[in-house]
């Protein structure tokens, strides 16, 4: 089977290629996923039929195959969208082999040709990755080289173009990243209990300029430096990035340079964990196509300084990183009270508090009367001055406790402020500064109680009760969920979200959803039926809009 699989792999990777050997000692692995939904007309959630697709059934799937033999590996991914499901980017239409690569390792050197994912530092200069739930994939197609030049000295180099659905980006990317583990190089640091790593990145984009009105730079460079210092329970991460002027659709085609700074300090010891984060971003949009939008062809990744919530109601108001400018802080502390203590009880208690706040940066806009300077610079920003427009804040408390061998619970309270004008409508700072009374926001208090009860061996009952109280946007909502699982095969769930506080009486609707899951070995099948609310779906600060829908959906995954 391995011999046949390798022959097929070689033919797919390079049609006409010949296999020289008759026997192979490698292994073939892979995974497969198929998703689909049958859409039903629902005038309650979509009165005009705006989101009801012309094609009643939409589906998509993919299969990965990876062959490894010692220091050699190769693989490919086949994708099929017939047609893409609602909420995913429309560019996914059709089918084909979207990812294929060959890789070998030899003498502290690793070479990859074809498709690959890579990241420099935290990603402020460059990150190529996939987030399938978002429909996001900016895989590189070209060449990557990794080398261990000396003890503690590591080098990466990349050259290629990004994936743009079933095409390639118009911009060519060239980059290099170097990292030095100083503690490996100088043992005196290790003897002092210090682990210190420093790194530097450089990325250049080349895209032809053919604008009839603007003289656009065809080469745009970005660079960054970073450091990680560890001693005992303390860890300090810092990174600074700079990007040359890059007129684009994101920034209104101004010629201002960009910069970003991220710092995180953490402490963990004896049940106590504390994290403090700081971030400032100024005009750091970086795409391999200057005319790109939404989540298309992003070269870099700007991580959020906010907590990602997985509970249904707070997840409706997730934060999306503002690539044109933002500054934020995040503070988190958690403490686990010891077992058999007064507050810990028999099994211990975990208490957490998290606060994050993001706002605009200082922007002094050039007067519209000065057309030339406004086109070139756009605005000035003082990094020591704070912006005045709140984008988002989240204050939450959590208590997690195991009461006995059969029962445990999580109790969460959240206070949210969500700037809808920025995060949903994409409004820039200038119109909001000019007309602050027109800014749309959402302030809410959210309570979540999650319980897990072990009924008997391999039988578990999980419940969620959520309440979102607000006078803004769609108004208050309540949610209840019941899940029953029989390990390791069966899982059943029923939930309902009731938007009882919607200011439009016709939209005070229920959103029921029922699901069944069956698992066998590495295979999993899920069948669901119900309504889906409109909203914003985010992963790691990158978001997409999800339209309302009703129907039957299924998902099948397996691996070998």
The sign of the CA dihedral 507, 508, 509, 511 is positive
Helices (H), 340-413: 371-376
Q: How confident is the model at residue 190 (pLDDT cuts 50, 70, 90)?
A: confident
Strands (E), 70-193: 72-81, 94-106, 109-116, 118-120, 126-128, 130-131, 136-137, 140-150, 153-164, 167-168, 172-181
Residue range 462-491: average pLDDT? 97
Residue 7: DSSP 8-state: H
Report residue 6's pLDDT band, with 50, 70 and 90 as the boundaries: low
Q: What is the pLDDT of residue 17?
A: 41
Residue 535: predicted pLDDT: 83
Residue pair 15/7 in contact (Cβ under 8 Å)? The answer is: no
How does residue 3 score in pLDDT terms, banded at 50, 70 and 90? low
User: Domain residues of the chain, as ranges?
Assistant: 107-303, 309-461
Q: For position 10, what pLDDT does the model report?
A: 55
pLDDT tens digits for range 9-32: 554 554 444 344 444 578 999 999
Q: Model confidence over 195-243: pLDDT tens digits?
A: 999 999 999 999 999 888 889 999 999 999 999 999 999 999 999 999 9
Condensed to tens digits (0 to 9), the pLDDT of residues 490-531 reads 999 999 999 999 999 999 999 999 999 999 999 999 999 999
Q: Is the dihedral of CA 378, 383, 384, 388 positive or negative?
A: positive
* Mean pLDDT of the 365-379 span: 87
Cβ contacts of residue 520 below 8 Å, gap of 6+? 489
What does the pLDDT look like over 393-429, one tens digit per residue?
999 999 999 999 999 999 999 999 999 999 999 999 9
For residue 5, the model assigns a pLDDT of 47
- Give residue 125's pLDDT: 98
pLDDT at residue 207, rounded to an integer: 97
148-157 average pLDDT score: 95
The fold of 107-303 is: Porin (2.40.160)
pLDDT tier, 539 (very low <50, low <70, confident <90, very high otherwise): confident
Interval 67-124: pLDDT, tens:
999 999 999 999 999 999 999 999 999 999 999 999 999 999 999 999 999 999 999 9
Q: Which of the four pLDDT bands, split at 50, 70 and 90, describes residue 368?
A: confident
d(CA 278, CA 488): 42
pLDDT of residue 179: 98
423: DSSP letter = H
Rounded to whole angstroms, the Cα distance separating 511 from 499 reads 8
pLDDT confidence of residue 24: 55
Residue 6's closest CA among 143, 142, 18? 18
In this predicted structure, what is the pLDDT of residue 211? 86
pLDDT confidence of residue 1: 42
Give mean pLDDT, residues 441-460.
97
Average pLDDT over residues 281-308: 94
- Specify the pLDDT at position 78: 97
The predicted-structure confidence for 468-480, as pLDDT tens digits, reads as follows 999 999 999 999 9
The closest alpha carbon to 286, from 298, 302, 303, belongs to 298
How far is Cα 39 from Cα 57, in angstroms, rounded to an integer?
6
CA atoms lying within 13 Å on the CB side of residue 409: 10
Average pLDDT, the chain: 92
Determine how many CB atoms are found less than 10 A away from the CB of residue 107: 7
Q: For residue range 48-60, what is the model confidence (pLDDT) as tens digits?
A: 999 999 999 999 9
pLDDT at 4: 44
pLDDT of residue 221: 97
Q: Which pLDDT belongs to residue 11?
A: 46
Q: Are 530 and 550 in contact (CB under 8 A)?
A: yes
Residues for the chain: how many in total? Answer: 560
**H/E run at residue 469:** strand 459-469
């Amino acid at each position: 089977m391995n011999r046949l699989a390798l022959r097929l792999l070689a033919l797919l990777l390079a049609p006409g290629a010949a296999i020289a050997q008759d026997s192979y000692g490698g292994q073939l692995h892979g995974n497969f996923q198929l998703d689909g939904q049958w859409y039903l007309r629902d005038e309650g959630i979509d009165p005009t039929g705006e989101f009801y697709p012309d094609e009643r059934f939409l589906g998509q799937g993919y299969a990965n195959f990876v062959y490894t033999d010692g220091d050699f590996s190769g693989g490919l991914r086949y994708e099929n969208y017939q047609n893409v499901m609602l909420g995913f980017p429309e560019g996914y239409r059709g089918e084909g082999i979207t990812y294929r690569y060959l890789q070998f390792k030899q003498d502290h050197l690793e070479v990859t040709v074809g498709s690959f994912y890579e990241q420099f530092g935290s990603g402020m200069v460059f990150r190529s990755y996939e987030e399938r739930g978002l429909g996001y994939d900016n895989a590189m197609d070209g060449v990557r080289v990794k080398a261990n030049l000396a003890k503690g000295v590591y080098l990466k180099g990349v050259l290629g173009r990004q994936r743009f659905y079933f095409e390639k980006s118009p911009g060519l990317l060239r980059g290099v990243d170097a990292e030095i583990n100083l503690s490996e190089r100088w043992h005196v640091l290790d003897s002092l209990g210090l682990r210190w790593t420093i790194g530097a990145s450089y990325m250049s984009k080349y895209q032809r300029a053919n604008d009839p009105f603007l003289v656009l730079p065809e080469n745009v460079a970005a660079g960054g430096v970073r450091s990680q210092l560890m001693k005992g329970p303390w860890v300090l991460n810092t990174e600074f990035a700079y990007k040359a002027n890059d007129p684009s659709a994101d920034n209104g085609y101004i010629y201002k340079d960009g910069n970003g700074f991220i710092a995180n300090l953490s402490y963990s010891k004896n049940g106590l964990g504390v994290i403090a984060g700081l971030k400032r971003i100024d005009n750091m949009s970086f795409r391999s196509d200057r005319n790109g939008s939404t989540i298309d062809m992003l070269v870099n990744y700007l991580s959020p300084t906010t907590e990602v919530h997985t509970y249904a109601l707070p997840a409706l108001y997730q934060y999306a990183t503002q690539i044109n400018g933002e500054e934020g802080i995040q503070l988190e502390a958690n403490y686990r009270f010891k077992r058999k203590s007064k507050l810990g009880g028999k099994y211990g208690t975990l208490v957490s508090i998290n606060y994050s706040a993001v706002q605009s940066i200082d922007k002094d806009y050039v007067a519209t009367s000065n057309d030339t300077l406004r086109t070139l610079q756009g605005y000035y920003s003082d990094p020591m001055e704070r912006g005045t427009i709140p984008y988002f804040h989240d204050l939450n408390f959590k208590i997690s406790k195991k009461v006995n061998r059969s029962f445990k619970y999580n109790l969460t309270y959240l206070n949210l402020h969500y700037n809808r004008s920025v995060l949903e409508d994409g409004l820039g700072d200038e119109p909001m500064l000019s007309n602050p009374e027109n800014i749309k926001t959402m302030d809410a208090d959210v309570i979540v109680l999650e319980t897990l009860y072990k009924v008997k061996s391999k039988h578990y009952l999980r419940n969620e009760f959520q309440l979102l109280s607000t006078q803004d946007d769609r108004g208050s909502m309540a949610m209840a969920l019941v899940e029953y699982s029989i390990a390791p095969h069966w899982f059943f769930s029923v939930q309902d979200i009731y938007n009882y506080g919607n200011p439009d009486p016709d939209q005070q609707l229920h959103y029921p959803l029922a699901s069944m899951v069956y698992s066998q070995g590495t295979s999993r099948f899920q069948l669901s039926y119900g309504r889906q609310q409109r909203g914003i779906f985010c992963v790691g600060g990158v978001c997409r809009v999800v339209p309302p829908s009703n129907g039957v959906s299924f998902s099948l995954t397996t691996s070998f």
